[in-house]
Structure 1
């Protein structure tokens, strides 16, 4: 289909982007890589009157070392995230999940911030940032990941806010990591995904962080599993027992790809696998 008509603005600074959004009001929409927005425009599921293209805003590009954390610019492409040495050293879980996003063509155009701001619970990155306790940095404030995702395709960004980047703590750099994803084809969205971090000390688990993809209208933490494995043995039997509560507190959808009960089963199986892989057992 052909999108509806719209005006196009390409600001060259963050201030100009915010001003353009304010001028557009509720009729404005930010476009980054376009890999999520353009299909919605073509299907006329979104019909903004003004598109604000932030590709030329320099503050939104690249990965910066901030000492105890990394700031990943919102316009940094998935391809650049994968290649970045700071990401590989301090946030390897992000690289692992990013490598599963769609296909190479999408990873060259799609952006880190655009994928997160789209707030699709089937996306790979929201559960990762949630598990890492990331912080969303906007043009006017900072939003913890636990408060950023409001509902299906809905974030807590205000209409006149631009996502500048995402701050990722380095605290998990030495932890084991794994992103386990079940999908029907290589380019498909996750039916269920599990982002997992494990801090292993000897034969025990000192700590764990687990985010679940596509198990509700927003990404969710598997808090019951995190509590169950903490202080316990780092072995597959213990992980399988703990993963039995992976779907606790979730509300997975039912659709053509699987029922909610099927997704609960997948969450249990995939969480056990992700824990074992992250712990190296």
Structure 2
């Protein structure tokens, strides 16, 4: 299909992009990597009056060290994230999840921030951001503000970004001494996750001293599996203890039923995949 007619803007800086969005109003759309927006334009599921292409904003690309955290520019491609040595060292969970995103072609074009801002419940990176307690730097006409990951994802395909704001970067705390793993189940290669689990586990003297677990596609937004975390922290680092904790994966989740899977099946998957993810993250 052919998209409806729209105006096009390619700003060179963040503030110029913000002004373009403000001028375009609520019908303006941001183009990052385009891997989600372009299909929606072609099917006319999105009919914007203006498309603001962020491809020319160099300040929104790259990864930098910020002491106890990494700052990842929102226009950094998935492939660049995958091969960045700082991300691989300090945030391996991001690498593990990003390596499962679609295929190489999509990873070369799609962007880290675009995937997060799209806020798809079946996307792999939102749950990772929640598990890592990431913070989002958003800029609009009123200046720049910080949004924690657990407040960023509001509803299905809805984030805390206002129509006149852009996601500039994501700040990810470094996890030193943690084991991480991303476990995903999909029906065919390169498909969206039926369910995914992002897990980070810290061990000390044979016990789990800390844990972070978040679920993909178990609700309209990423779900922090607080029950699993509570069961893990202080528990012995054994397969039985981890399997017992994984039984709480469905607590607080609201999985949907669709043509791909029922809510009951997704809950079963969450339990199984959580057990695998925390065991791999804990080195068990």
Give the TM interval when normalised to the shorter protein. Answer: over 0.9
**In structure 2, C-alpha distance between the alignment counterparts of 1:67 and 1:120, rounded to whole Å:** 30
Tell me, which stretches of 5 or more residues in structure 1 are unaligned? none
1:167 corresponds in structure 2 to 171
Match of 1:147 among 141, 144, 151: 151
Which of the residues 219, 222, 225 maps onto 1:222? 225
Equivalent residue number for residue 99 of structure 2: 99
d(CA) in 1 for partners of 2:52, 2:176: 35
User: 5+ residue gaps in structure 2?
Assistant: none
Residue 255 of structure 1 deviates from its aligned partner by 0.8
CA contact (8 A) 1:61 1:76 kept: yes
Query: How far does residue 59 in structure 1 lie from its aligned partner after superposition?
Result: 1.3
Q: Separation in 2 of the partners of 1:174 and 1:85? A: 17
1:155-194 deviation digits (Å, cap 9, x = unpaired): 0101111100100001x23200000000011110000000
Map Cα deviations across residues 193-251 of structure 1 (whole Å, 9 max, x no partner).
Answer: 00000001131100000010000000010000000010011111111111111010110
Structure 1, residues 15-37: CA drift from partner, whole Å, max 9, x if none? 11000000001011100000011
- Secondary structure, aligned partner of 1:96: helix
Partner of 1:258: 261
Distance 1:249 1:211 in 2: 12
Q: 1:198 aligns with which of 201, 212, 215?
A: 201
What are the within-5 Å matches in structure 2 for residues 50-65 of structure 1? Answer: 50-65=50-65
Give the Cα–Cα distance (whole angstroms) in 1 for the partners of residues 266 and 54 of structure 2.
Answer: 36
Q: Could you state the TM-score of these two structures normalised by the residue count of structure 1?
A: 0.99
Which residue does 2:39 correspond to in 1? 39
Shift of 1:258: 0.3
How far did 1:58 drift? Answer: 1.4
- Partner of residue 232 from structure 1, selected from 223, 227, 235: 235
Q: Does 1:279 align with 2:282?
A: yes
Give distance in 2, aligned partners of 1:60 and 1:130: 21
Deviation digits for residues 122-142 of structure 1 (CA, Å, limit 9, x no counterpart): 000000000000000011211
Q: Helix, strand or coil for the counterpart of 1:168? A: strand
- Which of residues 150, 155, 160 is equivalent to 1:156? 160
Q: Does 1:177 align with 2:180?
A: yes
Q: CA RMSD in A?
A: 0.6
Return the offset for 1:43. Answer: 1.1
CA-CA distance at 1:68 after TM superposition: 1.2
CA contact (8 A) 1:191 1:258 kept: yes
Contact 1:12-1:58 within 8 A present in 2 as well: yes
Cross-structure match for 1:109: 109
- Please give the secondary structure, in 1, of the residue aligned with 2:55: coil
Q: Tell me how many residue pairs correspond in the alignment.
A: 280
Whole-Å Cα distance in 2 between the matches of residues 142 and 66 of structure 1? 15
Normalised by the size of structure 2, how large is the TM-score?
A: 0.98
